[in-house]
Copies of this chain bind each other. A is one copy, B any other.
């Protein structure tokens, strides 16, 4: 198909498609004339994935490129694809902590208590530690009391994620599950947590009655 049809079917403008081509997110189409290229269903599928990673997953273009490269590299072990995907985050990854801060110590305690095997280079370990250190810097070390509940929830989600990976029958489907499930799974959890917050908050803190006409008149 021509780029105009690709644009229409993927609901992505032609200038945006050209940007993705320049940034190396989308492979070039097959040359079919001086100023024309031909795209296939693989391009369409990849374009939809790029949009999801950027728009719903909140990834930067650089993160999306790294994740897509891992997806395409058939030599990578599935475990390693997880490692690449683990660096694709909607939040900023702090530099690996050179010092063992109180946050790092607390996260390592949680990891040990749950019997997790996690390397020192794990991006998630550094992020969780940074959050705990930030709680303390903000004078809210009390919020760290929640870390056990969060870890239990994270384990529940990670097990479900690995069930999905193990259910895939081809290596390509497995790595796609890792990439899509890791990035869009973050957004799915964030969404469901916000929905659960509304329920929990409204139960404990019912909103005050809406101001009636007497008050708005005064």
Contacts and interface: CB of A to CB of B under 8 A. Distances in A.
**Most interface-central of A158, A159, A164, A206 (chain B CB within 10 A):** A158
Nearest to A168: B142
Tell me the interface secondary structure of chain A in the complex.
helix
A1 interface: no
A160 interface: yes
Contacts of A48: 134, 137-138
A45 B100 CA distance: 24
A160 to B, nearest CB: 4
A160 B150 contact: yes
Given A86-B198, A89-B190, 20 more contacts: A77-B205, A77-B207, A79-B202, A79-B205, A79-B206, A89-B194, A90-B190, A117-B202, A122-B195, A124-B192, A124-B198, A128-B195, A129-B191, A135-B184, A146-B161, A147-B192, A151-B196, A161-B200, A162-B200, A162-B201
Interface of A: 45, 48-49, 52, 55-58, 77-80, 82-83, 86, 89-92, 94, 107, 110-111, 116-119, 122-132, 134-135, 137-140, 142-143, 145-147, 149-167, 176-177, 180-182, 184-208
Interface pairs A-B: 8 shortest CB-CB: A124-B194, A127-B191, A128-B191, A158-B196, A149-B160, A153-B153, A154-B192, A116-B199
